[in-house]
Amino acid sequence: VSSNNADKYDLVANVRGGGSTGQAGAICLGVARALLRIDPTLRGPLGKEGLLTRDARMKERKKYGQAAARKRFQFSKR
């Protein structure tokens, strides 16, 4: 974290769902938001590092007439 609070706090986090990278991102966002509640002056440094922004990428839905979100069914010429 870009602030000098590493030795001030102990952290225990329970995360369910998603993969390891998504869970790590969720913990990172939660810690950043908690630090922001404790010290609002950290908004600038945490924001510059991109730690206050939720990753908005989601799984694209499957469309009808296709095998998956973007994969088409196999095409046969003859």
pLDDT, one tens digit per residue, over 15-67 is 999 999 999 999 999 999 999 999 999 999 999 999 999 999 999 999 999 99
d(CA 77, CA 69): 23
pLDDT at 2 (0 to 100): 57
Q: What is the CATH number of domain 1-78?
A: 3.30.230.10
Query: Can you give the pTM of this predicted structure?
Result: 0.77
Residue 8 pLDDT class (50, 70, 90 cuts): confident
Whether the Cβ atoms of residue 51 and residue 29 lie closer than 8 Å to each other? yes
Query: Per-domain residue ranges for the chain?
Result: 1-78
Predicted confidence at residue 4, as pLDDT, reads: 76
Q: In the prediction, which pLDDT does 3 show? A: 62
CB 31 within 8 A of CB 11: yes
Residue 70: what pLDDT? Answer: 97
Which amino acid makes up residue 35? L
